[in-house]
Amino acid sequence: MWLDRAAPYLRSQADPYCLRAGSRPWQWSGDPARVAAALIRSGLRAPHSIERVEIAERTASGRARTLLLSGSGETVRISAGSFHAAVGRELGWNTVPSERYEVRSAGGRLVFQGSGSGHGVGLCQRGADQMGAEGRSYREILAFYYPGTATGATARGFSWQKLGGDSITLFTTERDRDGAVLALGERLLGALVRRTAWPAPAGIEIRVYPTVDAFRNATGEPGWVAAHTDGRRIHLQPAGVLRAHDALERVLRHELIHVLMEAQATPGLPVWFREGLVGYLEHAGASAGAADFPADSALRQTSDATEARRAYAEAVGAVSRLVERYGEDTVLGWVRRGLPPDVTKASTSHPATKSK
């Protein structure tokens, strides 16, 4: 999604809808040492102590194209897009939301002041909202922001290779590298079916993306979200990335529980119960936590990783308390039948906690 990668394929164009929607100003200040460490961890060259950041070049739309990083007796030239990606991946995607900014040093910190979000090519979210408010269809919105393209399945352009298992089909761009993911998925699925007595639905897919950026672009998820499940299709970040964080088995188990549960779930089950039950089963019976029911909105949002993890932990704790009170078989049965009135009342009357 970054300018230096997207530029050969997408061109910046005049956007009256984005202008009508307005541009939101933002400011972020960062510790120079943390910024330098983020760049180095992403494989980029940077001074170990950044004293000054200058914008050497801008794009036609006024966004930073090239930066000069000075410090430790050297000056390093770096793509603003690479800088943006590295800082976002390591320090949070809400730190430097766009590449339209000014930057200065103040009080031992790097201060970025800018407006808007994104890279200036492709879809403007506020502009798309404005087009929708003016009655435009999603096809018209996509045609405006991506001229010359056709609507269709996401992640086109990859040379997907298909591997079939007993219950799961795996799609990968690297058969030899990712084939083991299929065997792991089949093993985990079998164990989960035995544990929950929920039958495995037909048509389960696992799609392993070749890069984190490809995963993010296809799913719309931030980099700190490891996987995304849509119906019976599981989208995974690269298996190598997940293995490096010792997370592949845990993440795959989590998403397979979602697939099994959603195939059984009655309409209207609250998000906190769905996520909490998945977490309870994922951790083989988590212990009960604090007496808080998280707001569904806190679990749906993807802008604040800390808030999402807090809400998720509260959801798991809430379901664990229900299992202690009613028993696991009863709570699993609510997936098909719906929550009993006393549980629904308790969860809706309990004030949702606020992020600290």
| pLDDT tens-digit readout, 67-107 | 999 998 899 999 988 898 889 888 887 888 888 899 999 99
Do 306 and 342 lie in one domain? The reply is yes
Do 8 and 50 lie in one domain? The reply is yes
Do 239 and 304 lie in one domain? The reply is no
Confidence of residue 153 (pLDDT cuts 50, 70, 90): very low
- CA 277, 282, 283, 285 dihedral sign is positive
CB neighbours of residue 179 within 10 Å: 14
The H or E element that residue 66 is part of is strand 64-71
- Does residue 146 lie in a domain region? no
- Does residue 127 lie in a domain region? no
- Does residue 120 lie in a domain region? no
The average pLDDT across 48-58 equals 92
Contact 330, 340 (CB under 8 A): no
**Helix residue ranges per DSSP H, 92-165:** 125-133, 138-145
Boundary-marking domain end, from 89, 115, 141: 115
310 vs 354: CA distance, rounded Å: 10
CB neighbours of residue 8 within 10 Å: 7
Do 271 and 245 lie in one domain? The reply is no
- Does residue 188 lie in a domain region? yes
Q: What's the pLDDT at 150? A: 57
Do 10 and 71 lie in one domain? The reply is yes
97 vs 114: CA distance, rounded Å: 8
Do 7 and 111 lie in one domain? The reply is yes
The domain total for the chain is: 3
Q: What's the pLDDT at 148? A: 65
Boundary-marking domain end, from 234, 264, 294: 264
Q: What's the pLDDT at 19? A: 56
The average pLDDT across 248-277 equals 91
229 vs 257: CA distance, rounded Å: 10
- Does residue 141 lie in a domain region? no
Q: What is the mean pLDDT of the chain?
A: 82
Instruction: Report which listed range, 132-141, 142-151, 216-225, 228-237, is most confident.
Output: 228-237
The average pLDDT across 126-144 equals 76
Whole domain around residue 350: which residue ranges?
266-356
